[in-house]
Amino acid sequence: MRRFLFALGMSVWLGFGMLGHAAHAEVVVVGNSNLPVDSLDPDLCKRIWLGQMKHLSTGAPVRPVDQAVSSSVRDEFYLKLLDKAPQQVKAYWARITFTGKGEAPQMLNDDAAVKAWVSSHPDAIGYIDAAKVDNTVKVLLRLK
Query: Could you report the per-residue pLDDT of 34-92, keeping only the tens digit for each?
Result: 999 999 999 999 999 999 999 998 899 999 999 999 899 999 999 999 999 988 999 99
- 95: CB partners within 8 A, 6+ apart: none
43-56 pLDDT tens trace: 999 999 999 999 99
pLDDT reading at 32 higher than 70: yes
- Other C-beta atoms closer than 10 Å to the C-beta of 80 total 17
At position 71, the amino acid (one-letter code) is S
- 137: CB partners within 8 A, 6+ apart: 30, 31, 32, 33, 115, 118, 119, 126, 128
138/119 Cα distance (integer angstroms): 9
pLDDT score of 1 = 55
Average pLDDT estimate for 124-143? 96
pLDDT score of 17 = 42
Average pLDDT estimate for 130-142? 96
Q: Domains in the chain, start-ordered, CATH in brackets?
A: 25-143 (3.40.190.10)
42/51 Cα distance (integer angstroms): 14
| CA dihedral for 81, 87, 89, 92, sign (positive or negative) | negative
The structure's pTM equals: 0.82
- Do strands 106-108 and 63-67 pair parallel, antiparallel, or not at all (unpaired)? parallel
